[in-house]
Structure 1
Amino acid sequence: MNMSRTRERLVVIGGDAAGMSAASQARRLKSPDELEIVAFERGHFTSYSACGIPYWVGGDVTDRDELIARTPEEHRARGIDLRLRTEVTELDPDGQRVRARDLESGEESWTSYDKLVIATGARPIRPDMPGVDAAGVHGVQTLDDGQALLDTLEGTRGRRAVVVGAGYIGVEMAEALIKRGYEVTVVNRGSEPMSTLDPDMGRLVHDAMEGLGITMVNDAEVTKILTGDGGTSLLERSRELGGGRVGAVVTQDREFAADVVVLGIGVRPETALAKAAGLPLGPHGGLLTDRSMRVRGHEDIWSGGDCVEVLDLVSGQERHVPLGTHANKHGQVIGTNVGGGYATFPGVVGTAVSKVCDLEIARTGLREKDAQRVGLRFEAVTIESTSRAGYYPNASPMTVKMLAEHRTGRLLGVQIVGREGAGKRVDIAAVALTAGLTVERMTALDLGYAPPFSPVWDPVLVAARKAAAKVRGSL
């Protein structure tokens, strides 16, 4: 501790979910007289829902401020010295200080700390290819990114959009652009959209997207992005908008005209600062922490959110899982420990839910290739069922895929694709995975039943029954 000060100082890098949750929880436990809190955020906003950005872009959320859980003014009123538009450019763990630059004035200064929280989040993957930095090409990770995209959409005369990538971000942004009246093409490296699912389940998403009028191009890798400076006839219209602006996306054998391009390839941990400071990183580039979210080997540094790797409770390996649910939990754990309490984050099972219009997409646990990669033998089953009793009005179909460990029957993973009432059923499987249940045990789960909510046998339990029978047959 720096003895020149009479109270401890906590420095937080990053003003969104993990960082400000940590700062707020630490403030609940320690008063300003005990703990000074300084938080740096390079953007214009704090404590917002990045997951809500596609719905804002698509018009389901009409006001940007609806995505903000707590404003900078509210944080400051609680005794947090929050400095917006200030980017931390260097960490000095030995000297217990950080260097920050005011992005408006350009001034730089060092700030010392007793305890440090690194919550730098993740950055959209921007492939190293010609034209990727052209005007009209957008990654979408922050509210600033969302605002920049909306500004482009409102200022663009053309109505052709290309989304590169078909993960959660790509699929959700494709839907948002369709809602805004764009002609949307999704270019995807994989054999099917949603690589978080097995390809057979991804095919269901593919069919639904094409049903919305989205053109799906699978097994295609973008090699460059052409601009108005290019020389093909395809770009005549983009030249009208000025040189340097996006005009087309090029794959190995095709070109797709584009007035706007959204990169939905995914994200990487934003850990350049941590790497430069010699902090430990995992195989996916995220910071490594212990269960208290303390950076390994550093007693005075914690980290959480999209910049860390977490333990996968099913595979036993480290994973990068950038989700707001985890980030908020990390922040609570960090703030409790910084504030003198005790808390831990045990790990994740990899639960995620998304949607394309009325199609709900959910997964938890391992995919087939995940299980194969860690050397697990498994049985896989797929069933068709409905969200309600078949005779009840508006019962909608759903497909459930389940993986169980060979011989033991331990549940390994579940994927669900269906209409209303399908997605949140994955929570049953998430609890079962966390508890280490076998599919046999799952068949006896006492789930709620009434015709408006479920068939007599819930679809997840139907899959568990089929998986249990397959495991018994493999003994």
Structure 2
Amino acid sequence: MAERPERLVVVGGDATGMSAASQARRLRKPEELEIVAFERGHFTSYSACGIPYWVGGVVDERDALVARTAAQHRERDIDLRMRTEVTELDVEKRRVRSRDLDTGTEEWTEYDKLVLATGATPVRPPLPGIDAPGVHGVQTLDDGQALLDTLARTEGRRAVVVGAGYIGVEMAEALIQRGYEVTVVNRGSEPMSTLDPDMGCLVHDAMTGLGIEMVNGAEVTEIRTGDDGRACAVVTPEKEYPADVVVLGLGVRPETTLAEAAGLPLGASGGILTDLAMRVRGYEDIWAGGDCVEVLDLVSGRDRHIALGTHANKHGQVIGSGVGGGYATFPGVVGTAVSKVCDLEIARTGLREKDARAVGLQYVAVTIESTSRVGYFPNAAPMTVKMLAERLSGRLLGMQIVGREGAAKRVDIAAVALTAKMTVEQMTALDLGYAPPFSPVWDPVLVAARKAVQAVRADAAPQ
């Protein structure tokens, strides 16, 4: 009697989970490896980053965000079970309990190898009214569809976004494009807390210019509901902001309920801890990746939680290689992210000033103003670049950019420099491309690097 193939169980059917399953299938045939994947939602392998653009009408069709359907995965001999939630992980008996969300049927499935790709969940503080109809977090394609359904049913045109991180800012723009009056209520001093406040204020100005009412330094105490039980206002100690729809943009936290209950190791931010091959620390046959894990920050040397699709897909490739008998590692991140508010582009990589202080690094910080093209060239747009370098050594620690067309992707130069542990002086010699339609003779990144070199030298000079 032939032995049954090994069984890989994947919990979570989006970027990490299905990338891992697909990569494992490339390396091992169905008679060698059976793959069972569970996804509690209606969609698989989709771009969560594209949801604000779908809500805003920039992307017309929901299905445009789906990279591979459940049927396509099944054609590749992956037993993908949609609308099925894993409710329990039994590490000792190497099995998971699942529940069909449509029928309520429960069953146990044994595994030889397990991948946890449970993602992240929107932060929902325990406020009165936070779970009322009309209040939406936006993390999954199902969340985006629920929000669009609410917008279609709502007669009023007042929207309040709570929080001004990436999701909050992008959703504020999407709602403006839908014709809503938008108020953003933000507890921070400026929007985009991933930037230093002096750069965040540039984003504030741009959002105000779009007609968005920005309320900074405000703590939400309640989501008020009307007689029909639906959200009708967002309340702070100072004021009440009427709302026909409320969108939460308070960030996300790792979804590690299963992992925590099973006793798997978690980090300071609640994410699962893994080794370089994305194996859960202390567990030979369990891997984890995507928004539910913590990753090594190559600049600070500490583990941190970063929820980005780029990392999630890479994690899946690494995990799938390991499960399939190959070898790959994920060395870490430098914290690169880009976003936009209409034509304003926002980018950051590496450490902010508060990050550097938190890990005990001494630094110099410089800010320069430049343009995206040679000044005489049509449509040259202003750009602000901020750069941090370590005292004495001059090692690049971080960079932030706020500008118009052509600004954001320049952050990739600094991302490479951070990964290579370059100094700002070494950066000044980088052979970057130049032509008047693309850049001044001295690219804005190099201008910032030159100013940072001067700051490092001045700081080191005898007083």
Name the SS of the counterpart of 1:88 in structure 2.
strand
Pairing partner for 1:273 from 250, 258, 261: 258
- Distance of 1:252 and 1:435 partners within structure 2: 48
Amino acid paired to 1:60: V
| 1:316-353 C-alpha deviation (Å, 9 max, x unpaired) | 00010000000000000000010000000000000000
Q: SS of the residue aligned with 2:31?
A: coil
Query: Residues 5 and 259 (structure 1 numbering): CA distance in 2 closer, same or farther, change over 3 Å?
Result: farther
Instruction: Measure the CA separation in 1 of the matches of 2:219 and 2:6.
Output: 51
Amino acid aligned to 1:95 = K
- Residue aligned with 1:220, SS: coil
Matches within 5 A, 1:49-448: 49-229=47-227, 243-448=228-433
CA displacement at 1:252 relative to structure 2: 1.3
Cα deviation for residue 6 of structure 1 reads: 2.2
Divergent runs of 4+, >4 A: none
Q: Distance in 2 between matches of 1:350 and 1:205?
A: 19
Letter in 2 for 1:249: V
Deviations 1:242-277 (A, max 9, x none): x11011000111100000000000000000110000
Q: State the distance in 2 between where 1:221 and 1:56 align.
A: 29
Q: Distance in 2 between matches of 1:86 and 1:24?
A: 19
SS of the residue corresponding to residue 222 of structure 1 reads: coil
Q: Tell me, what secondary structure is at the counterpart of 2:290?
A: coil
1:238 corresponding residue in structure 2: none
The answer as to 2:452 corresponding to 1:467 is yes
How far apart in 2 are the matches of 1:252 and 1:411?
A: 42
Q: Report the aligned-residue RMSD.
A: 0.8
From the superposition, tell whether residues 4 and 293 of structure 1 become closer, same or farther in structure 2 (CA, over 3 Å).
Answer: farther
- The residue type paired with residue 123 of structure 1 is T
Give, as a single letter, the amino acid of the residue that structure 1 aligns with 2:396: L
Distance 1:252 1:326 in 2: 39
Deviations 1:118-153 (A, max 9, x none): 000000000101000110000000000000000000
Cα distance between partner residues in 1 of 2:103 and 2:234: 37
Deviation at 1:466, TM superposition (A): 0.1
- 1: distance between equivalents of 2:338 and 2:242? 31
What residue is the counterpart of 1:32 in the other structure? 30
- Match status 1:6 vs 2:4: yes
The one-letter amino acid of 1:297's match is G
SS at match of 1:104: coil
Alpha-carbon distance in structure 2 between the residues aligned to 1:37 and 1:58: 37
- For 1:343 and 1:56, the matched residues in 2 are separated by 34
Aligned to 1:450: 435
> In 2, distance between residues paired with 1:163 and 1:53?
15
> CA separation in 2, counterparts of 1:72 and 1:217?
42
Structure 1 residues 358-395: Cα deviation after superposition (integer angstroms, max 9, x where no partner): 00000000000000000000000000000000111110
Partner SS for 1:130? coil
Q: Could you say what secondary structure the match of 2:354 adopts?
A: helix
Separation (CA, whole Å) in 1 of partners of 2:443 and 2:36: 50
Distance 1:112 1:4 in 2: 18
Q: Distance in 1 between matches of 2:124 and 2:306?
A: 18
Does the residue aligned with 1:284 lie in a helix, a strand or coil?
coil
CA distance in 1: counterparts of 2:17 and 2:389, whole angstroms: 37
TM-score, normalised to structure 2, is 0.99
Deviation of 1:4 after TM superposition, in Å, equals: 9.8
CA distance, structure 2, for counterparts of residue 311 and residue 267 of structure 1: 18
Counterpart amino acid of residue 323 in structure 2: V
Q: In structure 2, what is the Cα distance between the partners aligned to 1:273 and 1:227?
A: 33
Count how many residue pairs are aligned between Structure 1 and Structure 2.
460
User: Which residue identity lines up with residue 119 of structure 2 in the other structure?
Assistant: G
Percent identity at matched positions?
Answer: 80
Paired with 1:160 and 1:256, the residues of 2 have a C-alpha distance of: 9
Does residue 43 of the first structure (1) align with residue 41 of the second (2)? yes
Superposed displacement of residue 5, structure 1: 5.0
**Structure 2 Cα separation of the partners of residues 291 and 389 of structure 1:** 43
Deviations 1:189-237 (A, max 9, x none): 00000000000000000000000000000000100000014xxxxxxxx
Q: How many angstroms apart in 2 are the aligned matches of 1:4 and 1:270?
A: 39
SS at match of 1:306: helix
Distance 1:287 1:5 in 2: 33
